[in-house]
Structure 1
Amino acid sequence: MILCLGDESDHQLQHVVTTLHDLQQETVILNTANLGDQLKLQWQPLKNAFTLVVDNEYVDLDEAGAFWWQRFSAPPAANPVAGKNQISALSPLFYHQPERWYNPLSAIRFHQAKPVQLQTASALGATIPDTLISNDVTALKHFAEQFQDVIIKPVSGGAHTTLLRQHGVYISELLHQQDTGAVTLQARIDGLEVRTYVIGDEVFSGIIYSDKPDYRTDECAEAQATDTPEDIRSLARTICAAFGMKWCAIDWRCNSKGEFIFLEANPCPYFLKFEHETQYPLTETLCRALITTAEH
């Protein structure tokens, strides 16, 4: 059995589950937002027994051979204390056989520490943009003045990247608008947007054509399959493994010299649109990786 963590209405999750069924695999969809009437749990530490009750069906966690982390949704709670209590009650699930998770909790948390992720990628040999992460308006202004174009984005994600131009834009205003405290400023890299998916040893890359600073906001953005240089293929595998991930999507900028500049690595990326446009077998590759894990 393969347990899929996410919202049952999510199209990507539905697609992966359908593919697993076509490959003769039993699945359980676990939506943690349903904790309550639709989802119950039982945990007995002395017996090391964790049981889920999903829509009145009992699921023993030991029956799951692989786990796919598509998306975690916080359980409903009347107040912050109750919310922490709900998440704590779920914790045995996320610490259960982390080697069988795509991806484990540790990889999700490392992704949330994006400043450390960026530094680690650099230490592994990746080229990264000139970057400042700060809530000091004076320091941010000084950094921005050093470059013709700078992008601004939240430190932990959750909002889109925007282009900060020098004339007529005040960083203090942007800080107030984003209401995030600290922000990330990076020198804008001219070139192509490249996304690389790593699934085990398999590597798939595509150029994403878009006129906007963040292609996710561009309805006209389109991906096209492209060869991955061997050094980038090797580096992508290294980054994925070093970040504690079994699969991921890595975003790069490829400049006019053909150099790949690392932006970030996502442990639970969306891929259906990319797959459709590039014709890469991402779903099948991911599903077969999950099946291999479940069978061993």
Structure 2
Amino acid sequence: MKVYCKNIVWFSALCLSCFVSTMVAQDGEVLPEESKFKDPGTRVWFNSYGNIRISKRLFWDAQTHVRFEETEDTPFIGQIGQIYNRHAIGYIYSKKVNFSLGGVVRINFNTDEDSTERNVVPEWRIWHQYQFAQPLYSAMIYHRIRIEHRWTQGFEENSEYIFRNRWRYMFRAKVPLTNHKLVPRTLYVSPEAELIMQSGKEVVGSVMEDLRLTTTLGYIVTPRLTLAAGLMYSQGQTIENAGIFKQGWTMRFHVYFSPDIRKVKNKLPAIHLDD
């Protein structure tokens, strides 16, 4: 509990620091007189999310993401930029609260067509997550706190790994459109906002790594399968200069699946001996 509280304090402090102005950016670069935004890029993400039940309280969180981003020669969908493998063991505290702890291997591809550096480098992360759900009339509201410890490397030969922490808070709602409940054969809309902060020795002024605003349309096929697609706008400070912001538009396609690999007898409800 002490570690959890400490993480919350860190996250709150980083959010507050986003509004504190700084005069010098990364590597001694002077901030521009006004914030500058790069031209928005376009990306397409294909994501799968698996919550695989393995016991009464434990589940396997298995996520695979394949992400494409535009290049000069191939606009819009572009070429492959990253492949994510994010896995964790989750603990179900209650129907509305769960926690997860695991690791990430992200493969980064060099999308600079003029680059002579390496084409592929790995990125490593440890992550833990705290998710809370609450019903609101016919909708569901989700609060998610995710903390990541990441080691990143540039495409240059023999470049050193940079360690950073990411502090993420996401607010998401799921509102049924064709039914009064979120049940099979229901179309729903899901607005979402996520703020991603970062800290570390290499992070001097660029504490706001990303702000993501997304609207998703989903369809619940069965209790264990959901399909969804949405559009996301994002912006955030570049680590090279805190006064320069990157931004982009991303099409996201999702598959959510939740198989139960427990034995049949373990899936049955417990017998009430006192009835």
Same fold (TM over 0.5): no
More strand by share: 2
Q: TM-score, normalization: structure 2? A: 0.25
Structure with higher helix content: 1
